[in-house]
Every structure is written in C-alpha cells, then in structure tokens.
Chain A
Amino acid sequence: MTATDIPHTRKRGVWDRIGYEERSALVFLAPVMAVLMAVAVFPILYSFYISLFRIKLTRPNRQPFIWFENYTDLLGDHEFWMSVGRTVTFTVTSVAAIAVISLLIALLLNEQFRGRRFLSTILLIPWAIPYVANALMWKWIYDSGYGALNGVLYQLDFIDKYMVWLGDQDKTLMLIANAFVWKEVPLATILLLVTLKSIPDDLYAAARVDGATVWQRFVHVTLPAMRPGFMLVMIYETMMAIRHFDLFFVLTEGGPGSASHVLSWHIYVETFRNLSFGSGAAMSYVLALATFGLSYFFIRTLGRRM
C-alpha cells in the first residue's frame, strides 16, 4: 500500500480512508455480495416473515398474522415428524451405501491396469445425467409390468413371477435410495480417490517393513488416512440426501400410502398442493436451520480431525 495510490486531488472521505486494498476488494466483491443478498439472504429473511402469517392462496383475502403458530403447529404435526423420520432413514441408508461403494471403486481405480481410464470416464455418466432423466430411467427399470429389474430377476430364475417394486411400501424408500446412490457414487469416488492418491508411499513402505499384511495395511494405514475424504463425502452427500426432491417427485409422489413421503415432498405438498405458503415456509425454515446445524457440527468435527 503506497501513498501514490491515494489521489491527492480529491477530498478525503470515508471512501479514501479505508485504503486501496479495502477499496478494490470492496469493488470486486460488490457484485457477488449484491447477488447473494438478493438470491439468498433476502429470501431467507423474507421466508421467515412469511412463516409468521397464515397464508393460503385459495383464500387470498384472509391472511392473518399469527406469530409463531405455524411453528408450534409443527410440534404436534404427526405427518411432519413421520416425514422427518423417513428423510433420516433415506439419508442414513444412502450415505452409508455411497461411502462403501465409492470406497471400493476408489480402491479399484487407485490401481494401475489397462482400461482404468475408460472406467473413470464412464463413471462420469451417472454424475452428468440430469436427476429427472435418472428418475425416468429408474422408473422404467422398476416398472412392475415391463421393467428390466423384473426381467433380469425372472430370466435368472430369482423370481417365478413379476413383482411389484415401487408400489411395495417396504421396498419403495430403498429403491429410491438406490437410484440416488447410483447417481451420487461418482462424485464421492472422485473425492475419495484424491484422498487416496495423497497418502504418502512411505507410510505403506514402513508398514511393509513391519511385516503388515495387505489387509493390515488397509486397516491401519489406508482407512485412517482417508478420514478427511470420508468426512467430506459424508457432509456433502448428507446435505444432498436431506434436501433431495426430484426422485420422489417422478418415482412415487410420496406413495404408496405415505411410504416415501419425505420432508422435502411434505414441504412441496403443503406449499404447492395445499397452497399453505405460511406453514410451508415454516417447514422449510426448520429444514434450513437443521441443515445449518448439521453442517456446523460436521465442519467442527472435520476441522478438529484435519
């Protein structure tokens, strides 16, 4: 910061006093701040304001201010808590499956062999496919009349007649999770692979000198060293799973019964089918706060470990 940076011909106002670095940073950051204020900060505050009203678009002329009633109503809303439970089930299952599958794939791709590049390229396909197209694809695979899943199982003699898949409440959530996992695994694999490659070879050499078997090396060297990568995958995929909506919309619309009626679907129904914008905003606020809380917790844990 040199004195020549400050134009001496002008009167020195607040603007000049904060220094050239601060000023240019301000200018460079202004657009991004303006955009984020408009599309993130303001909407979130506005959402809170809306959640204090009983807004029903089917009754446009009656929208009383009701303080926190939308929130207190949620406490006793059985359906809401059931949907929270389903979201937790979906998230835990998906994230666990993603962690295991992507670890296996990352270990494979960490080896040197012919065709490795081909594999890592096709692995990007699920990641690139739009979620709606992914949903469309799995809906057709799971189709109980003509789907591929029934076809394969039938031809391999695992089943002797076609089964109901998405329509079976005991299977629905897991089948949707499977479609989610298939699409999310590539990203998780990439993240884990980067961590794997960053493990110094000396660690393995040292373990080998100590006479450790392959399995012992994996458990005592590889796994601990991959902790940061795992934490990252957990955070990212948890966030993705909690808010996920597209697959539920296309595959089941929350059904059958309410077997796949997860929180994000509940918010959608409350807001855009029942047109209760007030309580819909309250629910999404709860979801946003929960997500914030979770990420804070994760980041704290991650920060300590790394």
Chain B
Amino acid sequence: MSRFAKTHLGRRDFLRTSAAAGALTLATPGLLRAQSADIHMQTWSAAVDTVQSHLAAFTAKTGLTVDYGNSPYAQYRDAMVTKFVGGAPLDMMWVSDAWLPEWAEAGWIAPIDENETLMAYNAEADDFCTNSMTYGGRQYGLTYYSDYMAFFYDAEKVAAAGFDGPPTTWAEVVEQSLAMKEKGISEHPMMLAMAQESWLIEFISALVFSHGGRFTDEAGASVMTSSPGVQEALQWVVDAVNTHKIISPACVETGELNGLKAFSSGNHAFAMIAKYRLRTLNDPAQSSIAGNVKQAMMPMGPNGSHATVGWMRFHGMSAAAAADATRAANTAKLIEWFGGKADGAYTFQKLLFLDIGAGFGTKPLFQDPDIRAAYDSYGDVDMIQAQQALAQKKDVVTPWFGEWNETNGSAWQSAIIGNTDAAAAVKASSDLWTELKDAY
C-alpha cells in the first residue's frame, strides 16, 4: 500500500511539475508583450531620419506615441504579407500602387474616404496620385511620394567617348557603350538593376513602355505576346548582356540600391534609376560623379517612344486599425501629418524633397521657392517635366500582381542569363497572367 501511494505521489508530483512548466511557457508571451505605443507604423527603409524627425514632432504635438519600424523596400511586400497574415500590430504603413488591389481584396488595408479631413487634401493633389490610390471606387490613402523612371548619363564619360550628347534610342545606348568599352572608359557602361525585388517591375515596365509595348489591354487581358514591344525590350537586355557585354551579367543579382551605389561611384556611364535619385547622384557628399549626372529622355526602341513608367506610393491604413474607432482616429491623424498638412504646412513632403529628392503629389509645393531653388541646383526642370509628361501608369496592377510578378521577374532573369530565349520567357509570363486572371 505504501509503495502504491509513493508511486502515485511521484506521478502526481511529476504531473504537477509538468503542468507548471507548461503554464509558464504559455504565460511568457504575456510577460514579454509590452506594446505601449498608440500607433504602429511600418515603412520601408527610406529617409529613415527624416521620418523619425517628423514623428518626434508628431508626438510632441499630439501626445500620441508611435512605434516605428522599417524594412528594406526590396523585400517589403513579402515582409508585409507575412505581417498581415500573421496579424502583427499595424496601423499605418506605406503601400506601393502595385499592391493596392491585392491588399484591398485580401482585406488587409481599409479605405480612408469616409474621413472628410483627409479627403479634403484631394483638392490640392495630383490626379495621377489620387487615381493610383483608388481601387474599386474607394480611396485608400494619402500620397507619400510620386515619381517616374528616368534615364541618367555621366556627361563626362559621354564626352570622353567622343559624343556630343546622350543617346536617344536604345540602339544608340549600345553604340555609345561599345565606344566606351573600346576606349576603356567603363567595362559595363550601362547600369541596369535586374535583381528579383520590389523595384524590378518598375525597371521592366520602363523598358517595355519605351519599346512601345504593353503588358495588358484595356480589359486587362495579356497582350504580352502580341505586343512586340515586350519581347523587343527583353531581347535588348539579353543582347546588351550577352552579345555586346555592355551590361554586367551580375545585373540579375544587382538590386536598385547596389546599382545606384555602383553608378554613383563612377563604374558606369548610363543608368536607369528613379528620377528622385538625381538629388543623391549630384550630391558631392554621396556621389563621386556629382555634377556630371544629367537626365536624358528615356531612350526609345525601334517601335517605341520616350515613354517611361510612373508610380506613386501612399500612406495607408490597416483594416485592423479601421475596425477600431480610437485606433482609426489616431491613425488618420498620423496619415494627415505625413500625407496632408502638419501644423498647417506640407512639412513632410517638403523635407522629403529637400533631403532625398522624392517627388510630392501636392500641387502648391511647386510654387515653393526653396523647392524651385533645389530643383535648379541639381536638375534640369524642363527635362524633368518633359519626361514626367510621358510617364505611364503600370498596366499590371491587379489582385494577382504579386504572384505574377514573382514569375515574370524569374522569366526575365532566365532569359538574361541564357536559360530560355526571350520569346519563351514572355510566353511563360503571359500564360501565367491568363491563368491567374481566369482563376480569379
């Protein structure tokens, strides 16, 4: 009997200890989850200092604390998708126009058009921006910045190669680059960043549009195989890498940031980069070719034009925040502070422009003397506006964009590194588009 009791005592002890350990395990998150901030804000890591300074002013003004996190733009969508699905605390976040349908359809972000204070800013906003934030008739945020893909050249290298001016067609880009290679000015005169990341679709779109191509028609059906510009654009890149060797074969692992660094350290003569990077490229503190970087119209393909791609990014509100009245109100205040006026002025838009050159979507700022002076100091305002007029919205912005983009990027990369030919790559991408569209 005593032995029996002992057995049971032991077992009970054991069970009790296990239960206690288990309970402790489950209790740890409660102890460690101290989330005190009023608003959770997530952005990609751009202008981090500028954002932080503007946040400090927000907290000083409203008393609301903001938990600010940032992650690289290159993998931003993937990171955010995991956060949304995982229910991470999120109130305000930056959103690219390309992801709007997907995120709205999935119920991750919420429209802000019932907030009259925010909607009032539309009166002074660029229509391109307002349209790009609208999906299914609802508006999902206020503009963070808007820009387009530009073609830059290093004037010194072009002159050294014996040319009077920058190339105007993609064929001339090849011609001038070959001359530079010959003279040893640059081993890979053209910089193109083709790594699989968020920027890739903007580069691909600019190449395609300037070759006169379209991905889809008015109805959203794929015209990639019937619109010759798509395949011509890809073929140009394939030849530039493999035949002419004017683009480094490493372009498939070069992201926008590394491409920018390489161009600004003088390794290349031509580059396709977002227009706002002109500010950085002509800043002696950040670029060794400062002063030599000029913008030219996007070169055109044989059947194309100087067209390029334009885009915008916006401050959006998560559906989780919108569902809670207090959180929604606080988040709206923060969106206004960044995307509207802060203390009666477009402070953030102006700071952002002066610091990193990112374009604003608010018309009154064009009249601001500081901004005009800044533009004149490093850029050619006429050129900037001429190219702006030819910027087209991406035509692949759909709920299935994310999934298609992954495959399209791989298809282009495969063609560039010679695994498939351009026609097969374009066809694969087009087939997937049709499949995803039908499945939707």
Contact = CB atoms under 8 A, between A and B. Distances in A.
A86 B199 CA distance: 27
Interface string B233-264: 00000000000000011101110001000000
B20 interface: no
B402 A273 contact: yes
A252 B252 CA distance: 11
Contact of A253 (B106, B107, B196): B196
Contacts of A24: 7
Contacts, number: 80
A220 B417 CA distance: 48
Contact of A272 (B82, B106, B195, B258): B82
Main secondary structure of the interface of B (DSSP, over half): helix
Contacts of B7: 24
B403 interface: yes
Given A57-B106, A59-B106, A257-B416, A167 B85 contact: no
- The CB with the most chain B CB atoms within 10 A, among A5, A9, A253, is that of A253
A31 B19 CA distance: 11
A14 to B, nearest CB: 18
A164 B250 contact: yes
Nearest to A252: B253
B419 A169 contact: yes
B367 to A, nearest CB: 42
Nearest to A61: B107
A59 B402 CA distance: 13
Interface stretch (B89-97, B218-226, B406-414): B406-414
B16 interface: no
A273 B78 contact: yes
Contact of B406 (A4, A7, A9, A269): A269
B27 interface: no
Given A27-B11, A272-B81, A60 B106 contact: yes
A58 B410 CA distance: 22
B203 to A, nearest CB: 15
A60 B254 CA distance: 35
10 contacts: A7-B1, A57-B106, A58-B106, A58-B402, A164-B248, A257-B410, A261-B410, A272-B78, A272-B81, A273-B78
Interface of B: 1, 3-4, 7, 11, 18, 78, 81-82, 85, 102, 105-107, 195-196, 248-250, 252-254, 258, 399, 402-403, 406, 410, 413-414, 416-417, 419
B413 A7 contact: no
B252 A255 contact: yes
Interface in A252-302: 252-259, 261, 269, 272-275
Contacts of A22: none
A184 B160 CA distance: 53
Contact of A273 (B81, B252, B419): B81
A257 B402 contact: no
- The CB with the most chain B CB atoms within 10 A, among A57, A166, A274, is that of A274
A274 B252 contact: no
Contacts of B399: 58-59
Given A31-B18, A273-B402, A275-B81, A256 B106 contact: no
A79 to B, nearest CB: 8
Contacts of A256: 252-253, 413, 417
Contact of B105 (A31, A58, A166, A254): A58
B106 A167 contact: no
A275 B105 CA distance: 13
Given A58-B106, A257-B413, A258-B414, A274 B253 contact: no
Contact of B250 (A27, A144, A259): A144
- The CB with the most chain B CB atoms within 10 A, among A255, A257, A261, is that of A257
Given A164-B250, A169-B419, A273-B402, 13 more contacts: A9-B1, A58-B399, A58-B402, A60-B106, A60-B107, A144-B250, A166-B253, A167-B252, A167-B253, A255-B410, A257-B410, A258-B413, A269-B406
A274 B105 contact: no
Contacts of A144: 250, 253
A267 to B, nearest CB: 14
B249 A168 contact: yes
- The CB with the most chain A CB atoms within 10 A, among B4, B248, B249, is that of B4
Contact of B402 (A5, A169, A261, A274): A274
Given A27-B11, A164-B253, A167-B253, A57 B413 contact: no
Contacts of B4: 5, 7
Interface in A137-164: 144-145, 164
B195 A255 contact: yes
A273 B4 CA distance: 57
A259 B253 CA distance: 12
A165 B151 CA distance: 28
Interface in A38-73: 57-60
Nearest to A58: B106
- The CB with the most chain A CB atoms within 10 A, among B4, B253, B399, B410, is that of B253
A257 B250 CA distance: 11
Contacts of A261: 410
Nearest to A166: B253
B32 to A, nearest CB: 22
B417 A169 contact: yes
Nearest to B261: A145
Contacts of B11: 27
A274 B323 CA distance: 26
Contacts of A273: 78, 81, 402-403, 406
A144 B4 CA distance: 71
A31 B11 CA distance: 12
A255 B419 CA distance: 13
Given A164-B248, A164-B250, A257 B417 contact: yes
A60 B3 CA distance: 58
A166 B417 CA distance: 13
Contacts of A59: 105-106, 399
